[in-house]
């Protein structure tokens, strides 16, 4: 991230947190340049960027001011509380048809599941790939076909350690992305026909995995800020023979909700009481916004897991190397069986991708990259929230996650998000419609928007178009 972008991010954070209120003057170019030790042209560049993001505007001969609607806190979405009976899942057709239409590179990628490739250190990773492969002995090309390259397992265990968790490398199975980890984990603890507790709304691939394994979904509502509703979960566990659960305790997709430490402890107590295995999908673990997590990075439920009930699944797809397809599962008491399932299905993860990541994690400046990535995402979130406020109907509700790169918008009730999805595509804009996140195809008037790409004039125009489509509906 360039100096002017860093400075712009600092100002946008002041606006977002209300320290700089609407109508207030931002520091003059001269003041800012002196106070921050940067050149006046760097300050100008930062202010142009903030102007483009709709956060400030220039007044002739007076300077720059925070725009009126730059920091209005839009209301949070409601929690969908209707209790649903356990249901079979049949969403794949819908999900495939939506995902199939997101592949066009020319669309504005608000429907994308990945951040922009511009935000990843791909050249540095390529260097690591070459170095890692050169260091492999010819023998290793065969002998290292295990369920995890030792160097990579060590690096992953070290990251857990920095986060305050002791995790033996023997508990790690490296997988083909988190998706394989989650598939193997669920397969290991269920039989066709079993009930599995999942979130509502849930990441659409969760629904597809349940569909593939012929499992039945028990949907538990998720609060847009506080996460899974533990009272409903407790009630469902007492009344239904649920065999496993699949939750995201941190930066849930699509809501961005995170459980507090107290609620994580409550959830873990429930797991222990019912001896219930839990898949903890934690692929956004590294994408918390630094400025708001001043203490230490959030810990997963896995950190409490003395009984080995939690299968913690992580990935490099969202924060470092999409397409390398490297994830992992730390599977507690299920490790041995999952290793065997891995060997029986795909034998071993790809060796080149593993050695590249092991070298990068050791030498590539991962933490520096993450700090830049988090700051970029946070700035982009501010820009998208401001655009929603500017262009969308007044009664739109939206999440304000403390990380990740998704916003969940609850639109006026009469909006059909599947129809909106088609109309938006016709204008070259992708988005993810609500029903793909539900076993029962609820959330018809909701959409998930990604702010994973750098904000530019095309993003701003696309938000304006979406707003016009919504107001005309």
| Positions in the binding site for ligand PLP (CB under 6 A) | 113, 177-179, 203, 248, 253, 281, 283, 315, 317, 327
Find the shortest distance in angstroms from Cβ 193 to ligand PLP.
Answer: 24
In sign, the C-alpha dihedral spanning 17, 452, 422, 199 is negative
Closer residue to ligand PLP (CB): 71 or 450: 450
Closer residue to ligand PLP (CB): 53 or 317: 317
Find the shortest distance in angstroms from Cβ 42 to ligand PLP.
Answer: 36
Half-sphere exposure of 377 (CA within 13 A, CB side): 31
Distance CA 17, CA 166 (A): 35
Distance CA 284, CA 319 (A): 8
Strand ranges, E, within 99-194: 108-109, 172-176
Find the shortest distance in angstroms from Cβ 2 to ligand PLP.
Answer: 29
Phi, psi of 381 (to 5 degrees): -65, -45
Closer residue to ligand PLP (CB): 27 or 327: 327
Distance CA 452, CA 381 (A): 8
Find the shortest distance in angstroms from Cβ 231 to ligand PLP.
Answer: 24
Distance CA 411, CA 78 (A): 11
Closer residue to ligand PLP (CB): 253 or 258: 253
Closer residue to ligand PLP (CB): 211 or 281: 281
Helix (H, G, I), strand (E, B) or coil at 415: coil
The two tokens of residue 36 are 């921050």
Comparing CA positions, the residue from 320, 334, 357, 354 lying closest to residue 175 is 354
Find the shortest distance in angstroms from Cβ 442 to ligand PLP.
Answer: 18
Distance CA 196, CA 218 (A): 6
Closest residue by beta carbon to ligand PLP? 177
Distance CA 202, CA 281 (A): 11
Comparing CA positions, the residue from 86, 354, 283, 91 lying closest to residue 196 is 86
Give, rounded to a whole angstrom, the gap between the first and last alpha carbons of the chain: 39
Comparing CA positions, the residue from 451, 422, 421, 417 lying closest to residue 434 is 417
Comparing CA positions, the residue from 381, 343, 335, 425 lying closest to residue 97 is 425
Find the shortest distance in angstroms from Cβ 435 to ligand PLP.
Answer: 17
Distance CA 34, CA 53 (A): 24
Closer residue to ligand PLP (CB): 421 or 437: 437
Closer residue to ligand PLP (CB): 5 or 280: 280
Closer residue to ligand PLP (CB): 248 or 331: 248
Find the shortest distance in angstroms from Cβ 197 to ligand PLP.
Answer: 16
Contact by Cβ (8 Å): 202, 438: yes
Closer residue to ligand PLP (CB): 179 or 375: 179
Find the shortest distance in angstroms from Cβ 178 to ligand PLP.
Answer: 4
The two tokens of residue 301 are 């439920």
Q: Could you tell me the CA-to-CA distances from 103 to 44, 108, 454, 459 in Å, in that order?
A: 36, 11, 18, 17
Find the shortest distance in angstroms from Cβ 184 to ligand PLP.
Answer: 12
Find the shortest distance in angstroms from Cβ 249 to ligand PLP.
Answer: 12
Distance CA 276, CA 310 (A): 9
Closer residue to ligand PLP (CB): 64 or 247: 247
Closer residue to ligand PLP (CB): 42 or 208: 208
Find the shortest distance in angstroms from Cβ 17 to ligand PLP.
Answer: 27
Distance CA 368, CA 268 (A): 33
Half-sphere exposure of 368 (CA within 13 A, CB side): 8
The secondary element (H helix, E strand) that includes residue 388 is helix 366-391
Find the shortest distance in angstroms from Cβ 201 to ligand PLP.
Answer: 11
Closer residue to ligand PLP (CB): 16 or 453: 453
């Amino acid at each position: 991230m360039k100096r002017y972008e860093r400075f712009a991010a600092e100002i946008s954070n002041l606006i977002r947190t209300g320290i700089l209120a609407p109508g207030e003057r931002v520091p003059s170019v001269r003041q800012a340049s002196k106070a921050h030790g940067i050149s006046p042209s760097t300050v100008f560049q930062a202010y142009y960027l903030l102007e483009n993001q709709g956060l400030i505007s220039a007044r002739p001969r007076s300077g720059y001011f925070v725009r009126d609607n730059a920091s209005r806190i839009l209301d949070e979405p409601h929690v969908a509380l209707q209790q649903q009976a356990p249901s079979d899942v049949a969403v794949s057709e819908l999900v495939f048809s939506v995902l199939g239409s997101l592949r066009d590179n020319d669309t504005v990628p608000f429907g994308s599941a990945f951040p922009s490739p511009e935000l990843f250190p791909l050249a540095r990773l390529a260097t690591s790939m070459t170095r890692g492969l050169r260091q492999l002995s010819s023998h290793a090309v065969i002998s290292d076909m295990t369920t995890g390259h030792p160097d990579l397992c060590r690096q992953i265990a070290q990251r857990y350690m920095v986060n305050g968790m002791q995790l033996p490398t023997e508990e790690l199975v490296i997988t083909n992305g988190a998706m394989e980890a989650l598939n193997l984990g669920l397969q290991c603890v269920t039989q066709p026909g079993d009930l599995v507790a999942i979130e509502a709304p849930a990441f659409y691939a969760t629904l597809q995995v349940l569909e593939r394994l012929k499992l039945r979904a028990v949907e538990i509502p998720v609060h847009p800020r506080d996460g899974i509703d533990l009272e409903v979960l407790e009630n469902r566990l007492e009344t239904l023979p649920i065999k496993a659960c699949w939750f995201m305790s941190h930066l849930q997709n699509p809501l961005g909700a995170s459980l507090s430490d107290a609620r994580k402890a409550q959830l873990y107590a429930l797991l222990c009481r019912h001896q219930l295995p839990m898949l903890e999908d934690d692929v956004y673990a590294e994408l918390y916004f630094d400025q708001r997590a001043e203490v230490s990075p959030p810990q997963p439920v896995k950190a409490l897991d003395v009984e080995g009930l939690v299968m913690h699944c992580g990935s490099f797809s969202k924060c470092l190397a999409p397409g390398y397809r490297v994830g992992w599962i730390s599977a507690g008491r299920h490790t041995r069986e999952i290793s065997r399932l891995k060997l029986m299905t795909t034998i071993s993860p790809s060796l080149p991708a593993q050695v590249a990541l092991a070298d990068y994690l050791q030498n590539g400046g991962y933490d520096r990259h993450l700090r830049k990535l988090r700051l970029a995402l946070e700035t982009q979130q501010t820009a998208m929230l401001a655009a929603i406020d500017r262009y969308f109907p007044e009664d739109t509700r939206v999440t304000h996650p403390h990380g990740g790169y998704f916003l969940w918008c609850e639109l006026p009730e009469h909006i059909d998000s599947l129809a909106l999805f088609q109309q938006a595509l016709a204008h070259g804009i992708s988005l993810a419609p609500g029903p793909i996140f539900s076993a029962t195809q609820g959330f018809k008037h909701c959409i998930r928007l990604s702010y994973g790409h750098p904000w530019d004039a095309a993003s701003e125009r696309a938000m304006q178009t979406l707003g016009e489509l919504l107001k005309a509906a």
